[in-house]
């Protein structure tokens, strides 16, 4: 592109666009030091291409070109000059408008200014159960707060204050912690929920304490304590990290003056709905910054109320039914996907977190071997065990690998051809002649070893995947685990290993790589109960607009649908009904039930627990026991509720998990309240009496 002309440029303009040095006066002055320095710089301007307008004899043509260019340039410059004048004139008009026409208005504002804008924190939305029972609400109380900027030495101040107001060492500790976490300019609470007497005592002495105020503030309260704590979650003080996030999302202004934000559970997930819109007051302040009167108020908009599908009574019954056992229960209304109960035991008191949890309580919760803060329903993954079998049975029928009449003679074990691996049934000596119906009722393993081999892992993955296993259900709380429904492709990706035939066999009885969360199991059961029409599980049924009172329904439509033959469904259902009748694995739990329950028991081995781990020694034996599982829906013909139950180290599904289901079903279907709690659940240390038939 660049090349040098082979001859010297004959005209006034050099190729670099400048007049030749001969006409410049600098040369006659001799090169300045700076120029010489410049010329020694290691780079040179490259030579340009020849001008297209150049013709050696057509000097006039080029002159005309350039003068036309110059004319155009001048014209453009004139346009710029005109724009400058015009735009400055616009500014002048604006100044005139502000400073002459609106002068009085702004003068008043400035005179009163002194007007400061004070944010008004909106009321947080309520959380209500499906019958309107309050699960989370707000109340107003007085707090004693210190603005560290204008207060003196804090220790002395606290000592003086404690003469008037009861300040415990615990309060001091929390105050220190909050002081470190606070956002700039915030005042920090020392004591919350002051008594009237304390308020009065402080008010009299107020002049002694600059920078200390009493404020009426709203507090969040969870009246039901531990019950449904994992669903509701809790709010807490806005941390620095959360503040940064709010700023990034551009909503920090809406949180001015606000102290709290939803942390986990529904409080966290629905923060945007619950928080509301901040209002503000234009307040006239005196020279000392104290407000004198309010000039204008823009009211805050309260947060929206959440109406849950959850039924607090059902939740309570379910939680009580667990007794001292740890575990999880998720109950879903199959026809809507609404979650009626969502249990993770043990729970915790969310009220502890609202004002910042003190370290003593935190240690208690966080270090407990029972892990009460873990949301087992949402995050715990367990092998589904035999609760996997109804889905396997349906897969066998639907994909033509089994007929209802196909019968095996069960010797108590299964031999994988070729390798000669032996897979044992839970019952020594086997179950004898077993067809599909009986395989579910007595939970025969051998039957499903063979079925798994005939189906192959990819068929299992594809068919049972339709029931939502191995994928997040999309329930409306954050932090859900994915679980695992294995496939060849998955194993290759995860372990870079081929899938072996033997892997498939244990998957067939819900062991092996299989992992599911309780909420996934409940979801799968709900889909089974609803004949393949899939509603996403959701805790919040409706969001009520705080202004208009309008309610927006969530997940009103099914988000998927797949066809299963009615005949095959019927067969599996009949077998699942007989599971809960005399002779079935959960027969005892449902003796005398006035409705038909379709269910399946399961047992998951506790794996990966090595001896020598730091467990309380007295409890160790219990912690090695199997997890008990149970899935069911009822009434079997027209299901009102589908549920999945997991009892950690509970032993056997039929004896420990199924009675919990009974209590829930009795209430939901018949309206029957459970008998006094002791009888509903077996005491922790009494090992359940296990009959062979009741096992798994």
Nearest to 662 by CA among 637, 684, 679: 679
Instruction: Pick between residue 18 and residue 495 the one whose CB is nearest to other proteins.
Output: 18
Give min distance, CB of 99 to other proteins, in A: 4
Measured from the Cβ of residue 129, the count of other Cβ atoms closer than 10 Å reads 23
Nearest to 522 by CA among 628, 636, 645: 645
- The secondary element (H helix, E strand) that includes residue 342 is strand 339-345
Give min distance, CB of 291 to other proteins, in A: 15
Stretch that binds other proteins, among 87-95, 311-319, 633-641, 655-663 (CB under 8 A): 87-95
Per DSSP, what are the bridge partners of residue 641? 634
Give min distance, CB of 538 to other proteins, in A: 22
Nearest to 290 by CA among 482, 116, 455: 116
Stretch that binds other proteins, among 93-101, 173-181, 188-196, 681-689 (CB under 8 A): 93-101
Give min distance, CB of 256 to other proteins, in A: 5
Measured from the Cβ of residue 39, the count of other Cβ atoms closer than 10 Å reads 9
110 binds other proteins (CB under 8 A): yes
* Cα–Cα dist 570/564, whole Å: 10
The count of residues interacting with other proteins (CB under 8 A) is: 67
Q: Among residues 36, 58, 63, 92, which is the contact residue for other proteins, using CB under 8 A?
A: 92
Instruction: Pick between residue 98 and residue 179 the one whose CB is nearest to other proteins.
Output: 98
Residues of this chain, 11-70, that bind other proteins according to CB under 8 A = 13, 16-19, 23-26, 34-35, 38, 41, 43-45, 48-49, 51-54, 62, 65-66, 69
Q: Which token pair is 239?
A: 């941390």
Q: Among residues 90, 292, 492, 687, which is the contact residue for other proteins, using CB under 8 A?
A: 90
Instruction: Pick between residue 3 and residue 95 the one whose CB is nearest to other proteins.
Output: 95
Residue whose tokens read 């490259």: 46
562 binds other proteins (CB under 8 A): no
Instruction: Pick between residue 119 and residue 432 the one whose CB is nearest to other proteins.
Output: 119
Give min distance, CB of 24 to other proteins, in A: 6
Q: Which token pair is 605?
A: 């081995």
Q: Among residues 6, 30, 169, 250, which is the contact residue for other proteins, using CB under 8 A?
A: 250
Per annotation, catalytic residue among 187, 229, 344, 386: 386
Give min distance, CB of 221 to other proteins, in A: 27
Q: Which token pair is 673?
A: 């309240």
Q: Is 167 helix (H, G, I), strand (E, B) or coil?
A: coil
195 binds other proteins (CB under 8 A): no
Instruction: Pick between residue 90 and residue 292 the one whose CB is nearest to other proteins.
Output: 90
Q: Among residues 253, 295, 299, 364, which is the contact residue for other proteins, using CB under 8 A?
A: 253
> Do residues 590 and 580 make contact, with C-beta atoms less than 8 angstroms apart?
yes
Residues of this chain, 455-484, that bind other proteins according to CB under 8 A = none
Give min distance, CB of 40 to other proteins, in A: 12
Side-chain half-sphere exposure of 181, counting CA atoms within 13 A: 20
Which of left, alpha, beta for 529 (phi over 0: left; psi -120 to 50: alpha)?
alpha
Q: Among residues 5, 9, 114, 472, which is the contact residue for other proteins, using CB under 8 A?
A: 114
Instruction: Pick between residue 23 and residue 241 the one whose CB is nearest to other proteins.
Output: 23
* Cα–Cα dist 125/238, whole Å: 17
Q: Among residues 3, 11, 73, 139, which is the contact residue for other proteins, using CB under 8 A?
A: 73
278 binds other proteins (CB under 8 A): yes
Is residue 386 annotated as part of the catalytic site, yes or no?
yes
Largest CA distance in the chain: 120
* Cα–Cα dist 221/350, whole Å: 8
Q: Is 639 helix (H, G, I), strand (E, B) or coil?
A: coil
Nearest to 309 by CA among 291, 290, 280, 331: 331
Torsion sign, CA atoms 584, 585, 589, 594: negative
- The secondary element (H helix, E strand) that includes residue 172 is helix 169-181
113 binds other proteins (CB under 8 A): yes
533 binds other proteins (CB under 8 A): no
Secondary structure, 3-state, 276-314: CECEEEEEEECCCCCEEEEEEEECCECCCEEEECCCHHH
Q: Which token pair is 376?
A: 């087992």
Stretch that binds other proteins, among 99-107, 349-357, 448-456, 577-585 (CB under 8 A): 99-107
Instruction: Pick between residue 46 and residue 369 the one whose CB is nearest to other proteins.
Output: 46
Residue 613, φ and ψ in degrees, nearest 5: -70, 160
Side-chain half-sphere exposure of 325, counting CA atoms within 13 A: 35
- The secondary element (H helix, E strand) that includes residue 161 is helix 154-161
Q: Among residues 154, 178, 251, 301, which is the contact residue for other proteins, using CB under 8 A?
A: 251
Q: Among residues 11, 63, 67, 106, which is the contact residue for other proteins, using CB under 8 A?
A: 106
560 binds other proteins (CB under 8 A): no
Stretch that binds other proteins, among 113-121, 143-151, 467-475, 519-527 (CB under 8 A): 113-121
Measured from the Cβ of residue 424, the count of other Cβ atoms closer than 10 Å reads 13
Instruction: Pick between residue 66 and residue 609 the one whose CB is nearest to other proteins.
Output: 66
Residues in the chain: 696
Per DSSP, what are the bridge partners of residue 215? 143
Give min distance, CB of 60 to other proteins, in A: 14
Q: Among residues 36, 77, 364, 638, which is the contact residue for other proteins, using CB under 8 A?
A: 77
Nearest to 664 by CA among 593, 573, 569: 593
Residue 334, φ and ψ in degrees, nearest 5: -60, -30
Q: Supply the residues annotated as catalytic.
A: 386
| Binding residues for other proteins (CB under 8 A) | 13, 16-19, 23-26, 34-35, 38, 41, 43-45, 48-49, 51-54, 62, 65-66, 69, 72-74, 76-77, 80-81, 84-85, 87-88, 90-92, 94-96, 98-100, 102-103, 105-107, 109-111, 113-114, 117, 119, 247, 249-253, 256, 278, 280
């Amino acid at each position: 592109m660049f090349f040098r002309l082979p001859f010297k440029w004959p005209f006034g303009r050099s190729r670099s666009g400048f007049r030749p040095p001969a006409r410049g006066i600098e040369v006659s002055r001799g090169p300045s030091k700076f120029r010489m320095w410049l010329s020694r710089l290691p780079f040179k301007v490259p030579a340009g291409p020849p001008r297209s307008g150049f013709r050696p004899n057509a000097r006039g043509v080029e002159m005309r070109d350039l003068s036309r260019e110059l004319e155009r340039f001048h014209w453009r410059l004139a346009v710029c000059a005109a724009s400058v004048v015009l735009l400055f004139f616009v500014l002048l008009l604006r100044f005139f408008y502000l400073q002459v026409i609106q002068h009085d208005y702004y003068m008043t504002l400035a005179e009163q200014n002194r007007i400061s804008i004070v944010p008004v924190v909106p009321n947080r939305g309520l959380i209500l159960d499906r019958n309107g029972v309050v699960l989370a609400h707000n109340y107003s109380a007085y707090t004693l707060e210190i603005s560290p900027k204008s207060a003196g030495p804090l220790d002395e101040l606290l000592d003086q204050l404690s003469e008037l107001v009861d300040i415990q060492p615990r309060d001091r500790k929390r105050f220190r912690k909050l002081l470190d976490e606070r956002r700039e300019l915030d005042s920090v609470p020392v004591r919350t929920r002051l008594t009237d007497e304390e308020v009065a005592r402080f008010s009299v002495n107020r002049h002694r304490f600059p920078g200390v105020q009493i404020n009426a503030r709203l507090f969040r309260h969870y009246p039901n304590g531990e019950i449904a704590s994992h669903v509701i979650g809790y709010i807490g003080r806005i941390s620095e990290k959360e503040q940064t996030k709010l700023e990034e999302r551009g909503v920090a202004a809406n949180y001015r003056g606000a102290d709290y934000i939803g942390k986990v559970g529904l409080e966290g997930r629905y923060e945007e709905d619950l928080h509301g819109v901040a209002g503000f007051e234009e307040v006239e302040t005196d020279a000392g910054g104290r407000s004198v009167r309010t000039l204008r108020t823009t009211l805050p908009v309260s947060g929206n109320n959440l109406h849950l599908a959850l039924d607090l009574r059902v939740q309570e019954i379910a939680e009580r039914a667990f007794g001292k056992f740890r575990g999880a229960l998720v109950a879903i209304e199959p026809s809507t996907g609404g979650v009626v109960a969502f249990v993770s035991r043990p729970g915790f008191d969310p009220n502890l977190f609202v004002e910042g949890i003190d370290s003593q309580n935190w240690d208690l919760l966080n270090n407990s071997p029972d892990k009460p803060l873990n949301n087992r329903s949402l995050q715990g993954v367990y092998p589904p065990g035999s609760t996997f079998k109804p889905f396997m049975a349906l897969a066998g029928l639907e994909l033509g690998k089994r007929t209802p009449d196909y019968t095996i003679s069960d010797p108590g074990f299964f031999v994988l051809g070729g390798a000669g691996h032996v897979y044992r049934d839970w019952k020594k000596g086997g179950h004898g002649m077993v067809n599909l119906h009986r395989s579910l009722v007595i939970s025969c393993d051998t039957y499903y070893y063979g079925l798994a081999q005939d189906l192959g892992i990819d068929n299992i993955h594809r068919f049972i995947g339709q029931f939502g296993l191995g994928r997040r259900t999309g329930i409306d709380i954050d932090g859900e685990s994915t679980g695992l429904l294995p496939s060849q492709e998955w194993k290759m990706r995860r372990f870079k290993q081929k899938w072996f035939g033997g892997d498939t066999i244990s998957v067939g009885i819900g062991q092996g790589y299989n992992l599911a969360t309780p909420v996934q199991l409940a979801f799968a059961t709900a889909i089974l109960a609803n004949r393949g029409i899939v509603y996403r599980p959701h805790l919040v049924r409706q969001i009520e607009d705080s202004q208009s009172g309008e309610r927006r329904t969530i997940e009103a439509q099914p988000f998927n649908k797949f066809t299963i033959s009615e005949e095959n469904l019927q067969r599996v259902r009949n077998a699942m009904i007989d599971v809960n009748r005399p002779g079935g694995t959960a027969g005892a739990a449902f003796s005398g039930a006035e409705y038909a329950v379709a269910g399946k028991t399961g047992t998951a081995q506790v794996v990966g627990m090595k001896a020598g781990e730091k467990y309380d020694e007295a409890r160790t034996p219990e912690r090695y026991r199997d997890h008990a599982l149970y899935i069911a829906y009822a009434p079997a013909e027209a299901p009102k509720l589908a549920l999945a139950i997991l009892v950690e180290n509970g032993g056997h599904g039929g004896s420990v998990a199924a009675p919990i289901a009974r209590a829930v079903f009795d209430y939901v279907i018949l309206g029957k309240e459970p008998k006094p709690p002791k009888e509903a659940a077996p005491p922790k240390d009494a090992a359940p009496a296990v009959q062979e038939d009741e096992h798994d």
